[in-house]
Amino acid sequence: MFTRLLDAGQPPTGDATLPDDDVRRAVAAERRGGLDRPWVMTNMVSSLDGAIARDDGVSGGLGGAPDGVMFSALRRRADAVVVGAGTARAERYRPLRDGLLVVVTGSGSIDLELPLFTEPGPRPLVVTGSRADADALDRLRTVADVVVVDHERVPPAAVIDVVAARGIDVVLLEGGPTLNGLFAEADLIDEWNLTVAPLLVAGGSGRAAVGPWTGRAFALDRVWASDEHLFCRHLRRRG
């Protein structure tokens, strides 16, 4: 069960509670538009002190069951999920049941034994750069669709162009921090979803986005709560 604390920037009216299934349906049905490119949203989780992962480098121990509800709802909303190769490896990504899984790698070097390649499901799309090893790309093409862009380091705009050419309207960017930072630097994040877990973890975990300072302003659009977790959505300010 979720409690609506803020919706579309305003306190909710009427019943402020939402069962899990209603959350899944409501979030999955949302669409944003008015752009000449796909809408880009994130979904990250952090502790109260800003850690985005446990000491073992994965985020699974922070979110809990309510985060799983929001995670699945946002994935249902997206036409494509974009993730960096390092995060796909650390989080042991699997094939998506619905939508396109896009893995970004500058080198083209990815472990072909990862579940996203070995388990049954749709083939992922790998977007890589011009310095990728030709033999590695030949191996990748046996388990994935591969697009090589004309850049040594794959720029976010090129990723967006690739998915837009496939008719993608909504992109879910799942990190990691370096890829998030590149999209932030390119000013290509429209919606920032963040689960705040009621934990202080300290340790050496990094931030949700790393890279040059951007100063891009966002507006708080929604805050829901469940099991002492906060689910916040900020929308990019236009103009």
Confidence at residue 34, expressed as pLDDT on a 0 to 100 scale: 80
Kindly report the average pLDDT of the chain as a whole number. 92
Using DSSP bridges, classify how beta strands 229-236 and 218-226 pair: parallel, antiparallel or unpaired.
Answer: antiparallel
For residue 166, what are its two tokens? 């496939």
From CA 213, how far away is CA 42, in angstroms rounded? 18
Confidence at residue 202, expressed as pLDDT on a 0 to 100 scale: 82
Buried b / exposed e over 119-129, threshold 16 CB at 10 Å, is eeeebbbbbbb
Per-residue DSSP letter, 106: S
From CA 123, how far away is CA 96, in angstroms rounded? 9
Confidence at residue 100, expressed as pLDDT on a 0 to 100 scale: 97
From CA 52, how far away is CA 64, in angstroms rounded? 14
Q: Across residues 30-42, what is the average pLDDT?
A: 90
For residue 57, what are its two tokens? 């480098």
Phi, psi dihedrals of residue 210, rounded to the nearest 5°: -130, 145
pLDDT confidence of 71, banded at 50, 70, 90? very high
The secondary structure of 152-175 as a DSSP string is SS--HHHHHHHHHTTT--EEEE--
Does residue 57 carry a pLDDT above 70?
A: no
Contact 101, 124 (CB under 8 A): yes
Does residue 58 carry a pLDDT above 80?
A: no
Bigger pLDDT: 208 vs 56:
208
pLDDT confidence of 55, banded at 50, 70, 90? low
Comparing 46-60, 107-121, 141-155, 225-239, which segment has the lowest mean pLDDT? Answer: 46-60
pLDDT, tens digit, 9 for 90 and up, residues 133-179: 999 999 999 999 999 999 888 999 999 999 999 999 999 999 889 99
To the question of pTM greater than 0.85 for the whole model, the response is: yes
pLDDT confidence of 239, banded at 50, 70, 90? low
Does residue 60 carry a pLDDT above 80?
A: no
Angle at 112 between CA 111 and CA 115, to 5 degrees: 95
Q: Which domains does the chain have, with CATH numbers?
A: 2-8+38-52+62-236 (3.40.430.10)
pLDDT, tens digit, 9 for 90 and up, residues 197-222: 998 888 787 889 999 888 899 999 99
Does residue 192 carry a pLDDT above 80?
A: yes
Torsion of CA 38, 185, 213, 67, to 10 degrees: 40
Q: Across residues 13-29, what is the average pLDDT?
A: 91
Q: How far is CA 48 from CA 51, 53, 226, 232, in A?
A: 8, 12, 15, 13
Report the DSSP beta bridge partners of residue 219.
Answer: 235
